[in-house]
Amino acid sequence: MAHTTLEQRLPLANDLYNIDHLLSEEERMVRDTVRKFVQDRVLPIIAGHFEEGTFPEGLIPEMAELGLLGMHLEGYGCAGLNAVCYGLACQELEAGDSGLRSFASVQGSLVMFPILAYGSEEQKQHWLPRMAQGRAIGCFGLTEPDSGSDPASMLTTARRDGSSYILNGTKMWITNGGVADVALVWARAEDGVRGFLVERGTPGFTTSNIHHKLSLRASITSELHFEDCRIPSTNMLPEVRGMRGPLSCLNEARYGIAWGATGAARACYEAALDYAKSRVQFKRPIASFQLVQQKLVNMATELVKAQLLALQLGKLKDEGLLHPVQVSVAKRNNVREALATAREARTILGANGITLEYPISRHMNNLESVFTYEGTDDIHTLIIGQAITGQNAFS
C-alpha cells in the first residue's frame, strides 16, 4: 500500500477537508466543466451586467449545451444526472453570480420539475425538450404583493368556464418573469390551489419588470398581471392539487440554493485570501496579521461545513431519503454563513471591497435576496423548530 507524506496530504486552501475525495469521477467532471464555463464566459462580463441591471441572456444556449437546464431530471431531453452533480453545478454557477444560479433553479427546479412530476404527457412533450435546450424560458409565479411567506393566502383565482380557466390576480417578485415564454402560475380554483401554464402573449397576461433593485441585479425580476386571462383547461397541471404542489417544487430549488450559497461563499473567501496575501500595510502583507487570519480561518471552516452539509443532502436525495426539513437546515445554514462570509471578506478588502472590481459586494448584495427568497431565514427556522418541538410557531 502506497503511503503519502504529510506534506502531500496538505489540504488545499479552498478544500480544507478534501471534499474532492468524496466525489465520483463524473461529479468532479461536471463541477470542473461548469467551473471553467464560469471562469471563461461568466466572470469577464458579470460585473457589467450587474451594473447595468441586465441578465446575460447570451449565455442561455451555452448553459443548455452544458446540460444545465433540468440537469437532474430524467427523459424528455434532460441530462438525467444525479442530485450531487446538479448541486455542484449550482455551486459553480453561483460562484459566478446568484443570478445565474437563480436562472437555472427556476428553469429546472421550479418549472421543468413540476411539469415532469405533475404535467400531462402533452405538456411534458411540448415544454421539456425545448426548455432543456434553452429554446423556451420558464418562470414560477407563487408570491403575490400580499402573500409572501404565507403563500396559502394567495388571492389569484382561476375560474372554470367551459373548457377554459379564467385567471385574475397579480404575482410579484418573479424571477425570469419578463423574459419567460411560459409562466407556471399557482392560483386558487374551485377544488383548491392549482398550477397553470400560461404562455407569453396570451390575452390578459402582461408582465412588468421590477427596477431599482440593489440585489440580484444580473437577474430579471418581474410582476405578472392576469386580467380575465383565458387559458385552455388542458394548460392546468392535472396531477397535483393543493399547496403540496408549489411547496414540493420549493424543495427542489432550495436544494440547489443550499449548494449555490457555497459557491458565492467560496468566491468571497478566495478573493479575500488573494487580497490579504498581496496587500501590504505596516510593511507586512495583511495576511500576516492574526486578526486577518482569524477571519480567513472562520470563512474556510464555515465553507467546508456548508459543503459537507450540502453533499450529505445530495447523497440523501440521490438515495430517495431526503426530508424537506433537512433541506431547510441546509438552505438556512449555508445562506446565513455565505452572507456572514461575504460581510467578513469585504472588510479584508478595505475600501476596495465596496467596488465592482472585486466580486465580494456583488455577492453580498445578491445573498440578501437569497436569504429572503425560497423561504426567508425566519421561515426555515420555524420549519425546523416545528419539526424538533412538534409546535407550530408560524401563526
The residues that are catalytic are: 374
Residues in CB range of 299: below 8 A, 6 or more apart:
265, 268, 269, 272, 341, 344, 345
Residues in CB range of 325: below 8 A, 6 or more apart:
383, 384, 387
Residue 352 touches ligand TGC, criterion: CB under 6 A: no
Pick 349 or 382: Cβ nearer ligand FAD = 382
Place of cell 441591471: 53
Plot region of 181 (φ>0 → left; ψ -120 to 50 → alpha; else → beta): alpha
Residue 109 touches ligand FAD, criterion: CB under 6 A: no
Count of positions (residues) in the chain: 395
Q: Outline where DSSP puts E strands in 106-248.
A: 138-141, 157-161, 164-175, 182-189, 192-199, 205-209, 221-232
Q: By CB under 6 A, name the one of 33, 120, 168, 376 that touches ligand FAD.
A: 376
Pick 19 or 112: Cβ nearer ligand TGC = 112
Stretch of residues binding ligand TGC (CB under 6 A), selected from 42-50, 161-169, 298-306, 373-381:
373-381
Residue 243 touches ligand TGC, criterion: CB under 6 A: yes
Look at residue 317 and give its three-state secondary structure: helix
Pick 158 or 327: Cβ nearer ligand TGC = 327
How far is it, in rounded angstroms, from Cα 32 to Cα 85?
11
Stretch of residues binding ligand TGC (CB under 6 A), selected from 116-124, 149-157, 277-285, 348-356:
149-157
Look at residue 338 and give its three-state secondary structure: helix
Residue 29 touches ligand FAD, criterion: CB under 6 A: no
> Rule CB under 6 A: which of 101-140 touch ligand TGC?
102, 105-106, 140
Q: Which does 203 bind (CB under 5 to 8 A by kind): ligand FAD, ligand TGC, none?
A: none
Helix or strand (DSSP H, E) at 129: helix 121-132
DSSP 132: H
Which stretches of the chain bind ligand FAD, using CB under 6 A?
Answer: 106, 140-143, 148-149, 173-175, 216, 221, 369, 372-373, 376, 378-379, 382, 394
Which stretches of the chain bind ligand TGC, using CB under 6 A?
Answer: 102, 105-106, 140, 142-143, 149-152, 175, 242-244, 247-248, 250-251, 253, 324, 373-375, 379, 383, 394
